[in-house]
Amino acid sequence: MENNILFQAQKAKKAAQILSIMDNQSKNAILSSMACSLSQSGKEILFYNEIDVSAAKESGLSISMIDRLVLNQKRIDDMCKGLEKLILLKDHTGEIIESSQTSEGLDIKKIRVPLGLIAMIYEARPNVTVDAASLCLKSGNVVILKGGSEAINSNRVLAKIILSAGIKAGMPDGAIEFIDTLDRNAVYELLKLDKYIDLLIPRGGEELVNFVRKNSLIPVLSHGKGLCHLYIDEDADIDMALKIAINAKCQRPSVCNSIETLLVSRSIAHTFLPQICKAYYDKGVAIRGCPITKSIVNTVELANDEDWNSEYHDLIISIKVVDSINEAIEHINKYGSKHSDAIITENKKTADKFLKEADSAAVFVNASTRLHDGSVFGLGAEIGISTQKLHARGVMGLKELTTTKYIVVGKGNIRE
């Protein structure tokens, strides 16, 4: 297996050179061919997906895991639509970012170029096979795909379809390499190929991401944990606060940009807490509160320190009463995952302080953290939300799959 993966990486590296200089029109023709082929292969895709889903059910995988594994006609249509949307997006490669000319006539440009070879390591959802491959292709990168074993049949058929459609439309052989194995060592083998792979993107649980970070010298761009907060300030519009607190927790609790902790200013706690707790109970949310919260709404469970550190991914919320905006910011910077945090306030000074001092990838005033999203932010397609500070922070799109290069043209210039 070792040799197979090495061979695939070498093949991909060769294709990278060709793909990196391919024009946008040619790349779009490939994406279009993929979309067309996928839409014609519904039956085949569903046949193989059913094999994975049955096996998952038999092996007792969780319902949410199975939900992510299942494909249906709508989800196939969504993949095709995703490809069509991608065709319309701007190709950032070749863009001139900075440009200058020295007095000695040296012409210096900083341009955007593809990263090279990206390895995508993911779990469960088979649509990532198509999403990741197409995003990489559009940004001029070749990709090695390593999906989870629970989705092997679905991933294999999807990879086969887009690969053969791509090649027919002029895609260089090797531009998309699918690692077709159930051997758990495959990920580890990939991590060793720092000579070939320019970037690793792990997409899945914290365990997978940490394994990748700890075991490789290859740079990692990871979709991090989302422990998000909403702070209701003393100068909040209470109706707006209620609406956003409900949306940020309940609209889709399983995703990373929903909130886990609600912070409430002490001076409005007596008014706000009974209302929000009633609303949460009506929505089936379990509430874990600090002692002051419990003294106001005695039906809440008492929170412990672990609660402030918990990403529930579920209809559970922790609530803490704080004395000031400073205490709120301190709590967020201490317990948060630097993902998405919000404040509700009508006070501009307080809002500005929050925007400046809350150290998160995205900070919101009077808006739901659920809005931290590629389509809302105008990126078109998104490959994840980064909680790291280097290279990309917050929602990542096509631009974040590129790097830069200085191109310098002289007239015989030397260093004196």
Residue 308 in contact with a second copy, rule: CB under 8 A: no
Residue 390 in contact with a second copy, rule: CB under 8 A: yes
The answer to whether 137 and 110 have CB atoms below 8 angstroms apart is no
Question: With CB under 8 A, what is the number of residues at the site for a second copy?
Answer: 67
Residue 34 in contact with a second copy, rule: CB under 8 A: no
- Choosing from 243, 279, 292, 327, the residue that interacts with a second copy (CB under 8 A) is 243
Classify residue 223 by its DSSP letter.
B
Residue 301 in contact with a second copy, rule: CB under 8 A: no
Partnered with residue 164 across adjacent β-strands are: none
Beta strands 340-344 and 394-396 are unpaired
Q: Point out which span in 42-50, 68-76, 310-318, 350-358 binds a second copy (CB under 8 A).
A: 350-358
Structure tokens that stand for 410 in this block:
């002289």
The answer to whether 280 and 301 have CB atoms below 8 angstroms apart is no
Residue 404 in contact with a second copy, rule: CB under 8 A: yes
Least Å distance, CB 324 to a second copy, is 15
The answer to whether 383 and 135 have CB atoms below 8 angstroms apart is yes
Residue 357 in contact with a second copy, rule: CB under 8 A: yes
Residue 251 in contact with a second copy, rule: CB under 8 A: yes
Least Å distance, CB 327 to a second copy, is 14
Beta strands 107-114 and 96-101 are antiparallel
Structure tokens that stand for 257 in this block:
């940009």
Residue 351 in contact with a second copy, rule: CB under 8 A: yes
Residue 395 in contact with a second copy, rule: CB under 8 A: yes
The span from the CA of 11 to the CA of 374, in Å, is 32
Q: Any residues with CB less than 8 A from the CB of 198 and at least 6 apart, and which?
A: 115, 116, 117, 118, 218, 219
The answer to whether 289 and 300 have CB atoms below 8 angstroms apart is yes
Question: Would you put residue 58 in left (φ > 0), alpha (ψ -120 to 50) or beta?
Answer: alpha
Structure tokens that stand for 347 in this block:
């006070």
Question: Which helix H or strand E contains 117, and what residues bound it?
Answer: strand 117-122
Closer CB to a second copy, residue 102 or residue 304? 102
Nearest CA to 398 among 17, 192, 95? 95
Closer CB to a second copy, residue 76 or residue 197? 197
Q: Point out which span in 70-78, 109-117, 143-151, 312-320 binds a second copy (CB under 8 A).
A: 109-117
- Choosing from 179, 363, 381, 396, the residue that interacts with a second copy (CB under 8 A) is 363
Least Å distance, CB 200 to a second copy, is 11
- Choosing from 209, 221, 228, 396, the residue that interacts with a second copy (CB under 8 A) is 221
End-to-end CA distance of the chain, in Å?
53
Least Å distance, CB 278 to a second copy, is 19
Residue 240 in contact with a second copy, rule: CB under 8 A: yes
Partnered with residue 321 across adjacent β-strands are: 264
- Which residue ranges make up the site for a second copy (CB under 8 A)? 17, 20-21, 100, 102, 106, 108, 110, 115-116, 198-199, 213-214, 217, 219, 221, 237, 240, 243-244, 247-248, 251-252, 333, 351, 355-357, 359-368, 370-373, 376-378, 388-391, 393-395, 403-415
